[in-house]
Structure formats: C-alpha cells, structure tokens
Structure 1
C-alpha cells in the first residue's frame, strides 16, 4: 500500500511541473488517453491484427500510402517551421533556454504548438505498424 501512496504522490508532484499554458490541450491534461492509445495499439499489433489477418489476403491501400506519407512529411515540415521560427523570434538560445511558463508570447506559444504537434505526430505514426500488419508485412514490424 505504501508503494501505491508513493506512486500517487509522485504523480501529483509531476502535475505541479505541468506548463499551465497548454494544460488543457488535447492529450496533455492526463496521461490516460495516451496510455489507452498505446495499449490499444499493442493489442492490435501483437494479437488482434495478426489473428484478424491470419486467413485473409494482404490488404492493398493503393494511393492511400503515398498520401499518408506525404501528409506526414507536410506535418513534419509544419512542426519544423513552428519550432524554428518561434524559437528564433523568441530569442531562444539553442544551448539552454529556461522555461517561461508564465509567458503567453505568440512566439513561445508557436514553439509549444510545434512541440504538441510533434507529440501528436508520434501517435499518428503508430498507424505505420497497423498498416504493416494489415498488409502482412511482418518483416517490417520491429
């Protein structure tokens, strides 16, 4: 029981470190949605997907895959643009810049937006493995 109390206290402490400017952004307020996404992802990739595809032909996604890849490239360009322009205009030092969590400067919010989209892009990229599973490209799954 003591370990649960310590874990709860640690969780409460980590919440005090949160950046209040972005605390209400989707998937930021709590780790539970991200944990649920990862659990569903693992369940699909390890168990549900292979079982579902066992007696089926590999799916062909046609033009979806090039469009998906192009969209990810465009998203990553947007992220790069947000972070680089925002940090440059906010006069960030690329060696070390302290967090200014009380500043709602548009350039600092631009950096925060870029970092948030990076986080979202990592969740979107979980679809790569789902697509490998549906295409029966098991050798590409690591």
Structure 2
C-alpha cells in the first residue's frame, strides 16, 4: 500500500510539472479546476435532487425548438472539432512534423482541446432537458457517469496532457458525436420523422467501436511509447487512467446495448 501511494504521489508530481504552456492558464475555466468542479457539482445537484423535486408537481416542458437547436449546434460543433483534430493528426504523419509543441501545431491543438472541453460542458444540457421534460428514467447511472467523467477528464487532459495522445481521443469522440447528435436532431423533429431513425442501435455500436479503438491505441502507447512519432514525455499514470476509463465505458455501454437490444430480440 505504501509503495502504491508513493507511486500516486510521484506521478501526480510528474503530471503537475507537465504543463507546457502557461498561456493555457489565462483561458476561460483553465486557471483552476474550481470553475469546472462548481459547474459539475451544480449539474449533479440539479439533475439528481433540485430538478426532479421542482418538476414533481409541474407539467413537463416540451422544449422541442430548444432541443432541435441544441442538437443541430452540437452536430456542427462536433464536425468542427473533428476537422481540427484530423488536421493535426494528418500533420503528425507528415515529413515536416517534429513535435506537437511546434508553435503552430501546439496552438491549434490547445485551441481544439479547449473547444472540446467546452463542448463537454454544453452537453450537460442533455441531462437537464431530460429532467425538465420529466424523463427521469433516462437519467441513468450510465448517462450521469458518462457526462461527468468526460467533463472532468477533458479538463485534466487539456491541462496536464496537451498532446497527440488526447488529440486522437477527442477527435475520435467528436466524430462519434456527429452520428449521435444527428440522431438526436432527427428525433427532436417529431414523430413523423421516426421512420428515419431505424439506425438507433448504430449510435451505441459506434460508441463501442470508438472505445475499442481508444483502448487499443492507449495500450499500444504503453507497449510502443514512440508510436505515431510521439516523444516519450507523457506520464504513464495518465495513460493507465485513460485505459481504465475506456474499459469501464466498454463494460457500461456493452451492458446497455445488451439490455436495450439483445434482450428484445432473444
């Protein structure tokens, strides 16, 4: 136990020293985790306690127009983040690529990483809409855990791990969110568009594929630390945490997929 705690402390010290650009601290929400945690805690209190209590004796809000706009914005937002990430990844394979910390690529990576984190904050509205529409059954452990851990990890990875490793992960995730929010957008248009939603299970399938690729990528980084011209500068502790996160997501989403689709066809 003592050696394990020492390992945690050592890696935390290494991670804390891994901040490459003090300019990041001047960006919105990035100086301290306090702002992010306040938003997160407020979110939890509302969707688990205050919101359900507030809606207990009130009729459900429809929110159709707001949800259509929200989902449409998320689609275009995800397209933008995916494009920025792919642009960096393509440069990673180019002959001119030396390091993400070259000025141009570094700034693009940090900028896209911040917008990705900001996008995770706006996605918390998904749960708030569930509560206001009295769809509390959709506020599941998987839903809350997914949104919560993604907000926290995206902040910490941007703050302490601004490099190729996280760019690949958030680009992959944003690409999947194009599919996911496109589905939500069509669903929000109304029942007459339900016939176009035959591919519902593909949303979860794409998420599972994403986590599988993510897991393989992180494992390869442990085995081959110089993969994709990555310099060996990333604290392994964070890579292990990302691997654990991917495994947990695979388990939770697989369980959801089995209960939602496999049980019905059995």
Common fold by TM > 0.5? yes
Match of 1:78 among 77, 80, 89: 80
1:112 Cα deviation from its structure 2 partner: 2.0
Q: Deviations over 1:75-134 (max 9, x none)?
A: 00000111111332xx314xxx99644x322x3322221121111111110110011000
Match of 1:119 among 111, 114, 117: 117
CA RMSD of aligned residues (A): 2.6
Contact 1:82 1:113 in 2 (8 A): no
What is residue 133 of structure 2 aligned with on the other side? 135
What is residue 37 of structure 1 aligned with on the other side? 39
Q: Larger relative CO (CA 8 A, sep 6+): 1 or 2?
A: 1
Structure ranking higher in helix proportion: 2
Quote the Cα distance in structure 2 between the aligned partners of 1:31 and 1:8. 19
Contact 2:52 2:136 in 1 (8 A): no
Quote the Cα distance in structure 2 between the aligned partners of 1:133 and 1:73. 22
Q: Deviations over 1:11-57 (max 9, x none)?
A: 77644222314232112221111111110000001110011101100
Match of 1:67 among 59, 66, 69: 69
Contact 1:58 1:135 in 2 (8 A): yes
What is residue 52 of structure 2 aligned with on the other side? 50
- Aligned: 1:18 with 2:16: no
**Match runs of 1:103-114 below 5 Å:** 103-105=102-104, 107-114=105-112
Quote the Cα distance in structure 1 between the aligned partners of 2:53 and 2:89. 47
With normalisation by structure 1, the TM-score equals 0.78
Quote the Cα distance in structure 1 between the aligned partners of 2:28 and 2:10. 24
The alignment covers a number of residue pairs equal to 131
With normalisation by structure 2, the TM-score equals 0.44
> Which sits farther off after the overlay, 19-28 or 48-57?
19-28
Change in 2 beyond 3 A, CA 1:37/1:98: farther
